[in-house]
Structure 1
């Protein structure tokens, strides 16, 4: 679900701002998009209400990122014992002009997959960033 739709409280809006700030530390030229999904009936049917989705766009294709755009999907979970949803993991996908280039999931080992992976230094930075994002959302 678009992050902008999840920012219904001041606390959540602050947390989303902190997440954008953390990502911009990896590359100050990143531009955040809190509404990466189109608002049409078909897209609405495909959206996951248990995720917070943020798009990031670079000014052009980046060799370091092996991408031009990124999609961050933060996975949320709630159960009957805890009414407040908590972040359990995240996925980051890197896109070029042509298609998906790589994918990272913090769930299940923090593995990168794809044909054109970001530089190793950036992979480590994104793994660390995923832990920071989960901390921000779960405090």
Structure 2
């Protein structure tokens, strides 16, 4: 689900903003898109209420990332309250005008695959961002449980 639509509480808006800042700290030439999915019958089948989807676009093709844009899907647990939701996985995919060029998922071996994966330096940065996303949601979950 588009990150813009998931922003229904201060806590989730803060988490989304933190993810944007994490990404932009590693790739300062990117811009965030909180609504990467168009609202139509084609994309409705991908609408997952337990994910936060955002994209990062580069003004020109990123040599490091080997793409013009990166779609990020943060998969959340199916807990009812956002305070107790945790990240169960992060998926990334790099795209250009020809379509999808590479994919990455935090499930399994955390490896990149595809036609033109990012350069090793960018792969490491993207893995670090994913680790930080897990930490961000884990810390927020622990602090909200502690407050109860």
Specify whether residues 101 and 42 from structure 1 end up closer, same or farther in structure 2 by C-alpha distance, changes over 3 A only. closer
* Moved >6 Å (runs of 4+): none
Aligned twin of 1:60: 60
Q: Which residue of 2 aligns with 1:100?
A: 100
Gaps of 5+ in 1: none
| Structure 1 position 79, deviation (Å) | 5.3
Provide the residue aligned with 1:6 in structure 2.
Answer: 6
C-alpha deviation, 1:44, in angstroms: 2.3
Q: Distance in 1 between matches of 2:36 and 2:89?
A: 19
1:1-139 equivalent positions in 2, closer than 5 A:
1-78=1-78, 84-138=84-138, 139=140
Structure 2 unaligned blocks of 5 or more: 141-148
Q: 1:78·1:84 contact (CA, 8 Å) conserved in 2?
A: no
- How big is the alpha-carbon RMSD for the aligned residues of Structure 1 and Structure 2? 1.8
Question: Normalized against structure 2, the TM-score is what?
Answer: 0.86
Cα distance in 1, alignment partners of residues 57 and 94 from structure 2: 10
- Give deviations 1:59-107, integer Å, cap 9, x for gaps: 0112111000110001111358xx8321111001000111111111111
Q: How high is the TM-score relative to the length of structure 1? A: 0.92
Aligned residue in 1 for 2:145: none
d(CA) in 1 for partners of 2:8 and 2:46?
A: 21
